[in-house]
Amino acid sequence: MIFAIALTIGACSNTPEEVRTESGFKVDFLSDVEGPVAKVGDFVSFQYAVSNGESVVFDSREVGSTPQTTIPPTTNAKLNTSGVIEALKLCSKGDSVTVYYPVDSMATPPSGFEGKPFIIYTIKVEDVQDAAVYEAEQKALEEASREVYLTKKTFLDETMEAYKAGQLDGELVKLPSGLQIMIHEAGTEAKPEAGQTIFANYIGVLKSDGSEFDNSFMRGEPLQFPLGRGGVIAGWDEGFAQLGKGAKATLFIPSNLGYGERGYPPQIPENADLVFYVELVDFQ
C-alpha cells in the first residue's frame, strides 16, 4: 500500500467530502491543486495503483513508463477503466484522487477481487496538456529523434562497409558461438547479469544488403528486456552480456543466433544474418 499511503499525505481538507463522476463513481480527493481541470481533447499523464482494499495488485510506477491518455468526449461506464477517465476530467496537474469502481457491476470479477466491493484506483496526475501544445511538442520530439536516427544509421552503414572490406578484422571481438562484436565505446567495466533489465537503443539491418527492418530511435525510447531469459534473440542475450552501461557497439549475428531457418516474415527472410547497431543505455 506504499503508493496509496504516499498519496494520502497532504490531503486537502477543503475538498467536498463526496465527489461523483458523471456516471456516479465515487471519488476521494487526496490532494487538490489549484489549476485548470482536464478537458475533452487534453492529453493527461498520470501514475496509478490498483487495490482490492487490502493490497495493491498493480502499480504503474513499477512498469517503467508513464500512462498517458487523451480525454475523450464520452466514456463507457461498463468498462472498469471508465471511472479513471471520468476522474481525470475532474483533475488538474498535481491532483491525487481515489476512484471506486463497484465490483458487483461486472459480470465476472477479476482475479483477486472476488467478494470485494470495489476496484480501487489511486491516481496521481503528473501533467495536463492542451492538445495543440502536446501535438507541437510531439512533432518537435519526432524531428529530434529523426535527426539522431539518421546520424546513427549513417554510422552503421559506414561500419558495415568497413566490415565487408575487412578493415575491422583486428578490432572485432569474435566469440565461439559465431557472434562478432565491434565495440565503438566500451561503457562501464561492470557488465549486466542474467535477469537484469536491459534498456537499449538499436538499429537492425540485414547483413546481406543493409536493408533496415527495425529501430528504436524513431520511437523515442529504448527497448526494455530481461537479459538471458529468452525474451530476445540469442545473439542479443549473448552480445549485451559483453557490454557495459553506456556502451555503443555493432553486433554481427549469424542466423542461428537470430531468427534461424524460419526467419521473421516479412521483414527478415529465412537463414538471414543480422547486424545491429546498439547502445546499452542502462541496466538494472
pTM: 0.63
Domains of the chain: 2-128 (3.10.50.40), 149-283 (3.10.50.40)
Query: What are 123's three cell numbers?
Result: 491516481
Catalytic option among 155, 213, 225, 264? 213
**Helix/strand/coil for 158:** helix
Paired with 28 in beta bridges are 98
Among 119, 135, 7, which Cα is nearest to 61's? 7
Contact (CB, 8 A) for 25 and 108: no
Contact (CB, 8 A) for 86 and 25: yes
Question: Per-10-residue mean pLDDT for the chain, 284 residues long?
Answer: 36 57 94 93 95 94 87 84 92 96 89 93 95 84 94 98 96 97 96 96 97 94 94 97 97 98 95 98 96
Catalytic option among 214, 225, 264, 273? 214
Q: Respond yes or no: is residue 214 known to be catalytic.
A: yes
- The Cα–Cα gap between 194 and 205 comes to 26
- pLDDT, residue 17, reads 62
Catalytic option among 3, 134, 202, 277? 202
Q: Respond yes or no: is residue 213 known to be catalytic.
A: yes
Q: Respond yes or no: is residue 113 known to be catalytic.
A: no
Q: Work out whether the CA dihedral 75, 80, 84, 90 comes out positive or negative.
A: positive
Give the HSE-up count for residue 96: Cα atoms under 13 Å, Cβ half-sphere. Answer: 17
Exposed (0-12), middle (13-18) or buried (19+): which is 139, by Cβ within 10 Å?
Answer: exposed
- pLDDT, residue 10, reads 33
Q: Respond yes or no: is residue 217 known to be catalytic.
A: no
For 159, phi then psi, to 5°, come to: -65, -40
